[in-house]
A and B are shown apart, each in its own frame.
Chain A
């Protein structure tokens, strides 16, 4: 009986019973193949794109938007745009970078529409954690860092978080923001100067700097 069903090449059977549940086989292939399949509007490729990059895109959105309740919608929008525009990718090997720029495009649109600040929409339990020690001082330092980011212009905060939190290289940041390498360098320089200046007005950060310097 199973043999009777197995002529369907794109599906697999999952069951120990006589009749199986029929499920599509997952997409196989690297990013370049995935990009080409997306350009053909292959639905399995779309599902595979989501499975492969949903976590990455979600992280990018949280870092750039901060506002939890909009992230799910932004995640959906990002992938819907990616499905629509995947045929425009010039270098199929740069799928991840292209997706990052699409994500930033969506985040920017929301930031423009949202006239409120970034950090304010974090519930207390949503405040990002620091990867270092989880003591109360570190937690307060984290909040202070976020407060500083909150006071920065959107474009500078985007550049800074992509570079320093996401740890993209300069070319990737430029691609994601859709600007030249020179512009990114200038923007990052300005953003870092502003961040240091604003950090100096945060008592929690000043105290930490002073403490480390004493040690």
Chain B
């Protein structure tokens, strides 16, 4: 085997059954949904709709079309590299997001999507004010460091000695090359996640109140500046929800890695209700049913009146029935859903699952009682025929 080419045939890629299972779970959850129409198909659809209903044409692109942008008021396209030799520039996106590019910074707009954009920072400093939106997806690549944005105001600076990220408000995820994600909250910075107000910190400069990156400052020589405050959209009052963000992106492994790093006990004892649901979901879909159960049970114990209780109880029932094979746990969880809101759509599903578990546990008297409820209350239940069969009804 003296020809190196032949060594390639000996390579075997690592396979992960867990990864295949994880994606199957995701697809099942969405009912094996197809991808959104391609750009061409969307365009064709838009033209067809235009011929039929003008109003629909006006409304449709706002929700489906990629964002558009202007550079200092002039429309620009993907691939734009604003000229900053003489002065800084401002990029305005149609979702309300603003990006201030410092003088002599080199930034390229690599991608525009309906949810956000991907920016590539070759040098210098940019400040972003990303409008908070559900499922917003903004990324800034600075070399091998990716900064993911979840609705916030922050800055990124790339210099020869590395990348610095500074968060004024909101939540930012920094993904360094080959290292775990770093999450930055209000007033924190990367690489040292300490408050930017630390007097001895090398990043912080004397406070002032510009609304744009100062054209007169040379970003290659001047120290990074604090971000302007006060003139931007406000973030929600609640604390940033890292687990919920990760789960909504389908990044269960990342969520579980964070859970392990932070400590399961610590997180379950301190997270708010919505985050406990997200931790439970990440663990359930990430094939760690024991942690999922612990998260859902922590929610029930710590927040007995939370609005998330029913959904968490239903998910707990699924984990206990499907993964842990703990029938008593599943029965109690599904019963809790039914008792909390017997007329809700979730209660319909819970009664159906409860029926299955009770039958599997051969608790047929209780199963018949649930079957009677299904016949009475859930005419559209997929278990209606089974319930009738159990009752001997036609």
Which residues of A come within 8 Å of B, CB atoms? Answer: 1, 4-5, 8, 15, 17-22, 41, 43, 46-47, 50, 54-55, 58-59, 62-63, 68-69, 71-73, 75-77, 79-81, 83-85, 113, 115-116, 120-121, 123, 126-132, 141-142, 145-146, 148, 160-161, 164-165, 167, 192, 195-196, 199, 205, 209, 212-213
Q: A47-B27, A75-B20 are in contact. List 10 more A-B contacts (CB 8 A).
A: A1-B390, A20-B386, A22-B382, A55-B15, A58-B15, A72-B250, A76-B26, A129-B14, A192-B5, A196-B5
Sort chain B's interface into a size bin: 35 or more
| Known contacts A115-B141, A205-B4; is-contact A80 B35 (Cβ 8 Å) | yes
| Known contacts A1-B389, A128-B11, A212-B1; is-contact A58 B20 (Cβ 8 Å) | yes
Stretch of B47-55, B92-100, B192-200, B354-362 with 4 or more beta carbons under 8 angstroms from chain A = B354-362
CA distance A168 to B5 in the complex (A): 15
Q: Which of B10-55 contact A (CB under 8 A)?
A: 10-16, 19-20, 22-24, 26-28, 31-38
Tell me which residues across on chain A come within 8 A of B12, comparing CB atoms: 128-131
Task: Tell me the minimal C-beta distance from B355 to chain A in angstroms.
Answer: 8
| Residue pair A141, B11 in contact (C-beta under 8 Å) | no
| Residue pair B389, A5 in contact (C-beta under 8 Å) | yes
| Residue pair A120, B10 in contact (C-beta under 8 Å) | no
A209, closest chain B residue (CB) = B2
A22, closest chain B residue (CB) = B386
Tell me which residues across on chain A come within 8 A of B378, comparing CB atoms: none
- Mask for B374-394, Cβ within 8 A of A = 1, else 0? 000000001101101110100
A109, closest chain B residue (CB) = B111
Tell me which residues across on chain A come within 8 A of B355, comparing CB atoms: 19
CA distance A199 to B392 in the complex (A): 75
| Residue pair B2, A19 in contact (C-beta under 8 Å) | no
| Residue pair B11, A130 in contact (C-beta under 8 Å) | yes
CA distance A121 to B26 in the complex (A): 24
| Residue pair B390, A128 in contact (C-beta under 8 Å) | no
Is the contact region of chain A dominated by helix, strand, or loop, or is it mixed? Answer: helix
Which of B10, B24, B355, B362 has most chain A Cβ within 10 Å? Answer: B10
**Residue B144, interface by CB 8 Å:** yes
CA distance A165 to B364 in the complex (A): 56
Task: Tell me the minimal C-beta distance from B386 to chain A in angstroms.
Answer: 6
| Residue pair B37, A84 in contact (C-beta under 8 Å) | yes
Which of A75, A129, A132, A195 has most chain B Cβ within 10 Å? Answer: A75
**Residue B367, interface by CB 8 Å:** yes
Select which of B3, B9, B144 is within 8 A of A116 by beta carbon.
B144
Tell me which residues across on chain B come within 8 A of A167, comparing CB atoms: 9
CA distance A164 to B251 in the complex (A): 32
Tell me which residues across on chain A come within 8 A of B388, comparing CB atoms: 4
Ordered by A's residue number, 30 sampled pairs between the chains whose C-beta atoms are within 8 Å are A17-B360, A17-B362, A19-B355, A20-B386, A43-B32, A54-B23, A63-B13, A69-B254, A76-B27, A79-B27, A80-B35, A84-B36, A115-B120, A115-B141, A120-B177, A120-B178, A127-B14, A128-B11, A130-B11, A131-B10, A141-B7, A142-B10, A145-B8, A164-B5, A164-B8, A165-B8, A167-B9, A195-B5, A196-B4, A213-B2
CA distance A62 to B16 in the complex (A): 10
CA distance A160 to B6 in the complex (A): 11
| Residue pair B8, A83 in contact (C-beta under 8 Å) | no
**Residue B136, interface by CB 8 Å:** no
CA distance A54 to B16 in the complex (A): 11
The 8 nearest A-B residue pairs measured at CB: A84-B34, A164-B8, A80-B35, A83-B34, A46-B32, A199-B4, A62-B13, A4-B389
Q: Which of B239-282 contact A (CB under 8 A)?
A: 250-251, 253-254
Task: Tell me the minimal C-beta distance from B284 to chain A in angstroms.
Answer: 16
Tell me which residues across on chain B come within 8 A of A55, comparing CB atoms: 15, 20
Task: Tell me the minimal C-beta distance from B253 to chain A in angstroms.
Answer: 7
CA distance A46 to B30 in the complex (A): 12
Task: Tell me the minimal C-beta distance from A155 to chain B in angstroms.
Answer: 16
A66, closest chain B residue (CB) = B13
A213, closest chain B residue (CB) = B2
| Known contacts A17-B359, A62-B15, A212-B1; is-contact A130 B389 (Cβ 8 Å) | no
| Residue pair A15, B37 in contact (C-beta under 8 Å) | no
Tell me which residues across on chain A come within 8 A of B23, comparing CB atoms: 50, 54, 72, 75-76, 79
Task: Tell me the minimal C-beta distance from B45 to chain A in angstroms.
Answer: 13
CA distance A4 to B383 in the complex (A): 13
CA distance A145 to B3 in the complex (A): 12
| Residue pair A15, B19 in contact (C-beta under 8 Å) | no
| Residue pair B13, A59 in contact (C-beta under 8 Å) | yes
Select which of B5, B9, B33 is within 8 A of A83 by beta carbon.
B33
Tell me which residues across on chain B come within 8 A of A77, comparing CB atoms: 35
CA distance A18 to B364 in the complex (A): 9
| Residue pair A80, B34 in contact (C-beta under 8 Å) | yes
A106, closest chain B residue (CB) = B35
CA distance A71 to B251 in the complex (A): 11
CA distance A45 to B104 in the complex (A): 55
